[in-house]
Amino acid sequence: MTGNPMRFRSTRGSQQRLGFSEALWRGLAEDGGLYVPETWPLFSVSDFDGAESLAEVGERLLAPFVEGDPLATQIGAIVREAFNFSAPLRQVRGTADDEILTALELSNGPTAAFKDFGARFLAACFQRIRKPDAAPVNILVATSGDTGGAVAAAFHGRSGMAVTVLFPKGLVSPTQQHQLTCWGDNVRAFAVRGTFDECQRLVKEAFGDAALRQHQQLSSANSINLGRLLPQAVYYAATSLAWYRKRDRPLSFIIPSGNLGNAVACLWARQLGLPIGHVVLAHNANRTVPDFLSQGEWLPRASIATLASAMDVGNPSNMERMRDLFPDHVRLCDVVSAISVEDSAIRHRIREDRARFGEVWCPHTAVAAEVWATMSAERRRAEAWCLVSTASPAKFPEVVEPLIEGRVSVPETLARLFDRPSVFEEIDASLEMLKVGLKSR
Ligand SMILES: *Cc1c(COP(=O)(O)O)cnc(C)c1O
């Protein structure tokens, strides 16, 4: 698979072409588009012979993408460092013999959600891209819940790098707030008196502030960063390979989706030749994507709050990458379908699957479980289906526990976070206050 240096281009068509490190460092293309690979290497299953762990599969899968980049020789070390926890595939108990339903567990990382994969990979790359004698870098993240915790965990304790998390005061759950504020050391958390959109605006303003940037080197770790998306293709590759080796057939995925990063990663793995069948996007009541697939018109709208809050996205940015991969709507609909699920169905699914399968889903995973449960029996039998379990239910006890009328067991990684004290500073949604806060160290 060695060949030409890989370049990345923007989805919006500017002429700029960048290598891997530079695309990661910039985050967003200069024309406002998202970086995508200029060419797609094609793998066969046998290219992965002897590779089983996430790190082994990841090293081979990602090698062509870092070809010609300063990180090329370090990709093995990066994936071993980032993927130091497992992503097991298990059979869901109790489904009928002629139906295959599995769950891919992505919540074994430090903050018990799949965003740990991308955040840890990006941190491992940034650490190596940064010159040892360069000024410290401050990663600014606005978060509505899950992202900030994963990014904070991934960068916590790394020298030369700091993280500043901005979250809307009173608008994240108590459990989420704790995961944003329990770090200390090189991680600071600001509770902003405002909404998530205002937090995002503050981050944008900070990036645009020349005086601040003279004083601090700022960077971002947005979910649209290539360095968060590409590593997510690794667990789809490893899972579909393991399945194919055992069962000699592709695996189809039902993915709880919001901003579509996880789904695009799966489609990228498929594009690279991995044995992946259909991809179903399981959305909550934010139905921009299901409406687009059924009507062919892209009509982004304001997001609405649901029980699966990490998927409350009305204008998913990674749609740009999905349409870039499938410019033809008919072709897109051959491979991808999308369904919207209301809160009442999420509640019902959490209760019912606890009773019939003994499974306790997080509210996001429950959206995928509902999509499977409401498929026709024919469609259920036609493919080997895999629910992507994006988070541990222990992150959302406020939603899940009343429904199952019991406690959810807390994984040890989360329990350790709950033991740490919470520290944060409160600020108005103004750049001036953020600047004062940032300079106070
Ligand atoms: C972020 C998140 C999602 C949505 O993932 P996207 O990549 O934005 O589509 C789903 N579930 C959980 C638990 C999340 O944290």
Q: List the CATH number of the domain containing 295.
A: 3.40.50.1100
215 is a domain residue:
no
How far apart, in Å, are the Cα atoms of 432 and each of 205, 313, 436?
10, 28, 6
104 is a domain residue:
yes
Residue of 115, 246, 435, 439 with catalytic role: 115
- Residues 62, 75 contacting (CB under 8 angstroms): yes
18 is a domain residue:
no
Boundaries of domain holding 263: 86-113+227-407
160 is a domain residue:
no
Beta bridge partners of 253: 279, 386
- Residues 405, 183 contacting (CB under 8 angstroms): no
Number of domains in the chain: 1
Phi and psi of 112, rounded to 5°? 60, 35
Any idea what DSSP says for residue 113?
B
- Annotated catalytic residue 169: no
The 10s digit of each residue's pLDDT in 376-430 is 999 999 999 999 999 999 999 999 999 999 999 999 989 999 999 999 999 999 9
Nearest CA to ligand 1 atom 14: 310
- Record the tokens describing residue 418, joined without a space: 């709950």
- Residues 61, 78 contacting (CB under 8 angstroms): no
- Residues 223, 246 contacting (CB under 8 angstroms): no
Radius of gyration of the chain (CA): 21
Q: Which residues line ligand 1 (CB under 6 A)?
A: 113, 115, 146, 223, 256-263, 310-311, 364, 390-391
Q: Report residue 216's pLDDT band, with 50, 70 and 90 as the boundaries.
A: confident
pTM for this structure? 0.95
Q: Is the Cα dihedral 313, 314, 317, 321 positive or negative?
A: positive
How far apart, in Å, are the Cα atoms of 380 and each of 10, 183, 208, 384, 429?
37, 43, 50, 8, 48
179 is a domain residue:
no
98 is a domain residue:
yes
15 is a domain residue:
no
The 10s digit of each residue's pLDDT in 289-325 is 999 999 999 999 988 999 999 999 999 999 999 999 9
Top mutation candidate among 141, 172, 257, 392 for ligand 1, by most atoms within 8 Å of CB: 257
22 is a domain residue:
no
